[in-house]
């Protein structure tokens, strides 16, 4: 990939730009960015990362290998219609637009293009995103490798069928909020059992990091790891008993189902709105 263009300059675009440059995937001079009208933001990105901001579509798209659609989903129809005539047949489209299908992008672009649709999460800002990626049949093997390399600069990335992206949203897309919710509960619990809040926060963070690393490196399933910590008649068993009495595991499962269903519903609404403008 020699030239990458971002349409949209929000937090996800910035996270990706930062990851790409930090991992030396592309030189900053080969990254171009535009947005609707925020010149100050383009200037900030140039100052911080050395990328080129421009509103000149001819300059933006000349020799572009790939274009990242990173605007707000509600602005997608307008943005795609404005750039469709500048998209060459061999350009790769990479969308991080939540809820907007590959088919919707194809219809709005008015031509057959190689399109990848990705669902990163907000942990991209610290290089720890969990990203699901779907592609259409026009994406080549070499383009798939380039896409994977791109998203691995901001964390873990895996290819999934497009119909599973709503589930990815329900799991890892919304997942950071579930973890923050747990941290929030543990902070409140720590206060009630008399721990200093500053110390408690450090203990909670390290507990999460340690447990995550154990799940990552151990061949044992998480259920077995949990049981190994839960001695009969011990402190952990007493705590787990309360979680089970309050159906916490079931609540988390229902939480992910609800988020997945909402992702599908919002996607259908967004796609319907964009198709209606065609």
The confidence score (pLDDT) of residue 146 equals: 96
The confidence score (pLDDT) of residue 194 equals: 97
Domain 4-160, CATH: 3.40.50.720
Domain 174-246, CATH: 1.10.3730.10
Task: Calculate ∠ Cα 71-158-135, nearest 5°.
Answer: 60
CB 98 within 8 A of CB 73: yes
Max intra-chain CA distance, the chain = 71
All structural domains of the chain with their residue ranges: 4-160, 174-246
Tens-digit pLDDT profile for residues 161-220:
999 999 999 999 999 999 999 999 999 999 999 999 999 999 999 999 999 999 999 999
Angle between helices 197-217 and 222-229 (to 10 degrees): 130
Tokens of 182: 């747990």
């Amino acid at each position: 990939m020699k030239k990458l263009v971002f349409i949209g300059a929000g937090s996800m675009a910035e996270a990706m730009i930062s990851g790409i440059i930090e991992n030396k995937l592309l030189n900053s001079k080969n990254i171009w960015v535009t947005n609707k009208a925020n010149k100050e933001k383009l200037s900030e990105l140039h100052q911080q990362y050395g990328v080129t901001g421009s509103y000149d579509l001819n300059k933006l798209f000349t020799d572009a290998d790939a274009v990242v659609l990173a605007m707000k989903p509600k602005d997608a129809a307008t943005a795609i219609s404005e750039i469709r005539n500048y998209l060459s047949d061999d350009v790769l489209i990479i969308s991080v637009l939540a809820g907007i299908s590959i088919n919707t992008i194809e219809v709005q672009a008015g031509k057959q293009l190689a399109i990848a649709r990705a669902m990163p999460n907000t942990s991209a800002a610290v290089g720890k995103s969990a990203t699901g990626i779907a592609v259409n049949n026009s994406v080549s093997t070499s383009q798939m490798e380039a896409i994977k390399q791109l998203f691995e600069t901001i964390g873990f990335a895996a290819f999934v069928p497009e119909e599973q992206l709503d589930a990815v949203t329900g799991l890892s897309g919304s997942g950071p909020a579930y973890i923050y919710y747990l941290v929030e509960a543990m902070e409140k619990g720590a206060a009630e059992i008399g721990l200093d809040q500053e110390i408690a926060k450090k203990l909670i963070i390290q507990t999460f990091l340690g447990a995550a690393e154990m799940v990552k490196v151990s061949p044992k399933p998480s259920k077995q790891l949990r049981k190994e910590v839960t001695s009969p008649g011990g402190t952990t068993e007493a705590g787990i008993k309360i979680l089970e009495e309050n159906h916490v595991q079931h609540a988390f499962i229902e939480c992910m189902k609800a988020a997945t269903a909402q992702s599908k519903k919002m996607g259908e609404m967004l796609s319907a709105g964009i198709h209606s403008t065609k």
